[in-house]
Amino acid sequence: MFDQFHVIKLFSEKLSNLRPELDREAIGQLQKQMPEGTRWLLLKNPEKFDPARREPKRLREALQLNESLAAAYCLKEELRELWYQPGKACAAAHPGLWIHEAEWSGVRILLPFAKTPAAHRSGIPAWYDCPISTGPLEGTNHKIKTTKHQAYGFRDLEFFKPQILAIRQAIALSIME
């Protein structure tokens, strides 16, 4: 099973690597570079854009500068749609279509990523049987690691135990709400 967070995270890493690579190519070809803040606009979900900060317009302008970047961004949004299909059968067909589009786009940096959904075709539709995410668990682990890091320098671990129990209790309360 593969949840949305992990698949989109992998793709976002590729998208983050693509932007500076395209900037370097633009410098070599004397083309216009990407505007500041483009990386965050590419990674941000469109429904969370702030019109007051002109984010939709700034993203459109950035995507008009480079065809490869626009194709990669569209592929990211299309990949996000995998978790919003009407059913498991549609979800099973979606990766094949997405892989074909990724290969057809010709965006070199995305071609290795296109093999990821291909290798996990059975795991992606399994999410529809049990739509859960490991996000809360990973958040808990991160909080414990942060607390552990903050505890460096204390003489004993007795201080650490109540901190972990407090994290566990806070999470349990947030789940119940």
Domain ranges within the chain, ordered by starting residue: 4-126, 135-176
Q: What is the pLDDT of residues 36-57, one digit of tens each?
A: 777 788 888 889 888 999 888 9
Question: In the predicted model, what is the mean pLDDT of residues 60-82?
Answer: 86
Please tell me the distance from the alpha carbon of residue 161 to that of residue 146, in angstroms, as a whole number: 14
- Tokens 């961004």 appear where? 73
Give the separation between CA 175 and CA 104, rounded to whole angstroms. 43
| Model confidence pTM above 0.85 | no
- How many alpha carbons fall within 13 Å on the CB side of residue 54? 8
Query: What distances in angstroms separate CA 128 from CA 5, 63, 136, one per listed residue?
Result: 15, 33, 19
**Could you tell me if 42 and 59 are in contact, meaning their C-beta atoms sit under 8 angstroms apart?**
yes
Task: Dump pLDDT digits (tens) for 125-162.
Answer: 777 887 777 777 788 888 888 887 877 766 677 777 78
Of the candidates 101, 94, 83, 103, which has an alpha carbon nearest to the alpha carbon of residue 121?
A: 94
